[in-house]
Amino acid sequence: MLDKAEVTRVVEEALEGSDLYVVQVTITRDNIITVDLDSDSSVDIDQCIRVNDAVLAAFDRDVEDYELTVGSYGISSPLLVRRQYDKNIGQEVEVLTRDGRKLKGVLTQADDEGFTIEVPTKVKVEGKKRPEQVMVAERITYDNAKQTKCIITF
Q: Are 37 and 20 in contact (CB under 8 A)?
A: yes
56 and 100 share a domain? no
CATH classification at residue 139: 2.30.30.100
**Share of residues in the chain with pLDDT > 70 (%):** 100
CATH classification at residue 12: 3.30.300
Residue 77 lies in a domain: no
Q: What is the mean pLDDT of residues 91-106?
A: 96
* Count of structural domains within the chain: 2
Residue 17 lies in a domain: yes
Helix (H, G, I), strand (E, B) or coil at 7: helix
pTM: 0.86
- Give residue 44's domain range: 4-72
DSSP designation for 123 = E
117 and 68 share a domain? no
Which of 72, 95, 128 finishes a domain? 72
16 and 62 share a domain? yes
16 and 66 share a domain? yes
Q: By mean pLDDT, which of 38-42, 46-50, 126-130 is the weakest? A: 126-130
Residues 15-31: tens digit of each pLDDT: 999 999 999 999 999 99
Q: Rounded to 10 degrees, what is the CA torsion of 43, 47, 53, 59?
A: -50
103 and 49 share a domain? no
What counts of helices (H) and strands (E) characterise the chain?
Answer: 3, 8
- Given a cut of 90, whether residue 53 has pLDDT beyond it is yes
Return the pLDDT at 118: 98
